Structure 1
Amino acid sequence: MIRVMVVDDHTVLRDGISHVINLDSNMKVVESASTIEEAIKKTEASLPDVILADIHLQDESGLDLTVFLKKKFPHIKILILTVEDNEHYLKQALDAGAEGYLLKDTSSDELIYGIQNIYKGNCVIPPSMTKEFLHSRYHPGRSSQEILTPREKEVLRELAKGFTNKEIGRMLYISDKTVKIHISNIYKKLKVSSRSQAIVYAVQKNWIIA
């Protein structure tokens, strides 16, 4: 059972999101909050597995909440759920430590899929935003200092698209175990500890083409 907390300052949206999540037999909304202070208190009390947080919380920032919670509770997965279809906010969310970023107009199935994926340790980004995010930071002339092997770059590129280890294995015709080995090597080479950090690092270094 995946235990979820929903943080949003709009009651109707918060209740609607909670209803969708509770329809899945493998998930349960254990808490909800509308402010950073309330979210922190309820996180400390209930220790959910996944937190869905909006970027804009009255006069507060869900990104500030993300930074605080990831420092204090690094094992809790955070999914930003927002109306901000903006590459700037996406980068800020990943830099803050969020494992995922979805838009509020996403379908119910995509929301459930996103929660499942970040719970498993994957990074979730809307495909449309992934392409924009990567293209906006790509410069064709820079490739000589790459430290990843061609296969590792293939794996990293598919990670950036939000695919799971199993899906990557099928696409690249390699086993799940081999994918895990490649991901482990990527983490070591880039000196990162999560998929979102690896993706941000690679994008900043212009190693990924959408």
Structure 2
Amino acid sequence: MTDDAPITLLIVDDHPVVRDGLRGMFEAAPGFRVLDEAANGVEAVEKAAGLDPDVILMDLRMPGGGGVAAIRELTRGGARAKVLVLTTYDTDSDTLPAIEAGATGYLLKDAPRDDLFNAVRAAAEGRTVLSPAVASRLVSAVRGPGAPRNEPLSAREREVLALVAKGTSNREIARELFISEATVKTHLTHLYAKLGVKDRAAAVATAYQRGILG
């Protein structure tokens, strides 16, 4: 995807009316192109392989193949697409498995249109996007054992965290900061402890909540 190329989308939802509404919304807005639609997770994985979209808008609860299983399959297969969950539900049983499976973001279907557009742009850039309700739920649910130590992050830890928020891999972070991958992992371990979290998604969510990441 180049700067002037439209962001390509695959819309996944079992309700035709929802798919039509989303397609119409994005096709009427500049900077987006809807490649296709899918009615369930299995169809989404198949179409994503052939179409290679930038972003997949993924519902979670669908007969014939749910969203979490599809996200897991896309992640396992090394799909380039970023998955932005767009669902009616924000319960722990939906939110956490989707994030853990590899979703880049999680929005509720009642999100304002401009928020949805901004979320898709952010997801395309590899940034984590979480609705406020989901972010607070995720942060409380995935905290590591014990209370966070509330120690300030070092300048280097902030650099690593900012790159993590962009979806950068450990190898790419090491190359960009001219350090070894082992050092990157050490920085991650330290910042996880300081933030009181256990993984990358939770670190990013907590950092946004605390204003560490803008």
* Structure-2-length-normalised TM-score: 0.70
Which consecutive residues of structure 2, in runs of 5 or more, have no partner in the other structure?
Answer: 1-5, 167-175, 190-198
In 2, are the aligned partners of 1:51 and 1:77 still within 8 Å (CA)?
yes
Aligned sequence identity (%) = 27
- Residue aligned with 2:130, SS: coil
1:118 maps to 123
Counterpart Cα distance in 2 of 1:95 and 1:81: 16
The Cα of 1:140 is off from its aligned counterpart by 9.8
What is the alpha-carbon distance in structure 1 between the residues aligned to residue 145 and residue 43 of structure 2? 46
**What is the distance in 1 between the residues matched to 2:185 and 2:116?**
27
Q: Given the alignment of the two structures, is residue 16 of structure 1 paired with residue 21 of structure 2, yes or no?
A: yes
Q: Detail structure 1 runs of 4+ shifted over 6 Å in the superposition.
A: 184-188, 206-209
- After superposition, the CA RMSD in angstroms is 3.7
CA deviations on 1:10-66 (whole Å, 9 max, x unpaired) are: 000111011111122110111101023322222222111110110111153100000
Tell me which residue corresponds to 1:189. Answer: 187
1:46-195 aligned within 5 A: 46-136=51-141, 142-143=147-148, 149-151=153-155, 152=157, 156=161, 189-190=187-188
Structure 2 CA distance for aligned equivalents of residues 37 and 139 of structure 1: 33
For residue 96 of structure 1, report the CA deviation from its aligned partner. 0.3
Secondary structure of the residue that 1:81 maps to in structure 2?
strand
Conservation of the 8 A alpha-carbon contact between 1:91 and 1:200 = no
Q: 1:200 aligns with which of 178, 199, 202?
A: 202
- How far 1:95 moved relative to its partner? 0.6
Write the distance in 1 (CA, Å) between the matches of 2:44 and 2:201: 28
Decide whether the 8 Å contact of 1:187 with 1:198 is kept in 2: no
- Where does the alignment leave 5 or more consecutive residues of structure 1 unmatched? 165-179, 192-196
